[in-house]
Amino acid sequence: MSSEVLVEAPGEHRLVEHTPREPGPGEALVGVHAVGICGSDREVYQGNRPEGYVRYPLTPGHEWSGTVRAVGAGVPASLVGRKVVGEGFRNCQVCDRCHAGETTLCTDGYEETGFTQPGAMAATLTLPARLLHVLPDDADLTAAALLEPAACIAAAALRAGARPGERVAVVGTGTLGMFAVQFLRAGSPAELLVVGTRRDREALSRRFGATDFRTRDQELPGDFDVVVETAGSASAARTAAGLLRRGGRLVLTGIPAPGAEGLDPTDLVVRQLEVHTVFGAPPDAWSHTVRVFAAGLLDPLPLVTHELPLAEFSEAIELVGSGDPKVGKVLLRP
């Protein structure tokens, strides 16, 4: 019997029998290989995700990889058997923002796999085929399960527009931070600084391409062209802004707690800083991520520390929130 995780309400979940939903017109049925757990999944389980950004009861899971098993009418049959990953945002495709390619800003309202629509913590996932991105035949599906957070950082890297020879920095050393290092390193920077709170992340940062590593309590320079913030706190955003030269470019990807005191607008204006933000990943960031992954320039596997069966969902959630420095990315295997 195949199964799925069902979060019935905050703090309440059970493993239930899974019945695959046959794909309708324009849809595809994917056999899930692996699904990642991130902080937002923990928010879903604990019940502290912002109102309107979750709908119970729910099968979570927005970071996943798998293989297409069947397709509905209007979808090329050649997709069957292909390894894939998929976008989460269920955009309308007809509003101005969608037509501009900014699908994460769809004006029809928020809908996302694993939050308001059934997610991948199940044996199969049925979704619009237009959201799929095909992987090479020899792709490692365990590594590919991390391409959703990688795509969010790809969006940040594209917004940053770092040019070869520029001095770049990353604030934050979690999964997003390590992906940011890899994307920025691929652009041939003159220098790539990583700033974190844990000295034990230095070796991995340098493995991925960092040329320098410092903790936030050390003296930090202030003349970088581009800084990508991934830590998700107001203090991290201020640290990131402080690293920039006058006229530098800042991309914020973390989401601090509501009401957090942010950047100083006077500082932004006087130093003419260019500030961008990223929430999710539009199609161009996904395509970029898959290309970089296929070219061997993105290595997610060193970030994976735990792989558990679906039945150990609660243990996986506890691991993600444990604060244990030995816990990296946690995957569930249906």
What are the tens digits of pLDDT across the range 152-207? 999 999 999 999 999 999 999 999 999 999 999 999 999 999 999 989 999 999 99
Is the previous residue joined to 300 through a cis bond, with omega within 30 degrees of 0?
no
Measured at the CA of 151, the angle between CA 147 and CA 152, to 5 degrees, comes to: 125
> What's the whole-number mean pLDDT along residues 98-104?
93
Residue 254: pLDDT above 90? no
What tokens appear for 253 in the block? Answer: 């990807």
Q: Is the pLDDT of residue 323 over 90?
A: no
Say how many C-beta atoms besides its own lie within 10 A of residue 264's C-beta. Answer: 12
pLDDT of res. 256: 81
The pLDDT of residue 260 is 76
Closest C-alpha among 160, 153, 103 to residue 275: 160
Determine which helix (DSSP H) or strand (DSSP E) holds 30, and give its type and residue range.
Answer: strand 27-37
158 phi and psi angles, rounded to 5 deg: -65, -40
Mean pLDDT on 290-315: 96
Alpha-carbon distance values, 217 to 73, 236, 262 (Å): 58, 12, 19
Tell me what the mean pLDDT of segment 91-100 comes to: 94
Are 125 and 32 spatial neighbours (Cβ–Cβ below 8 Å)? yes
* Beta-strand pair 274-277/244-252: parallel
pLDDT tens per residue, range 203-219: 999 999 999 999 999 99
In whole angstroms, give the CA distance from residue 243 to residue 105: 29
Give every CB contact of residue 103 below 8 A, 6+ residues apart in sequence.
87, 89, 91, 93, 97, 282, 283
pLDDT value at residue 92: 93
- Chain centroid, CA 42 distance in Å: 14
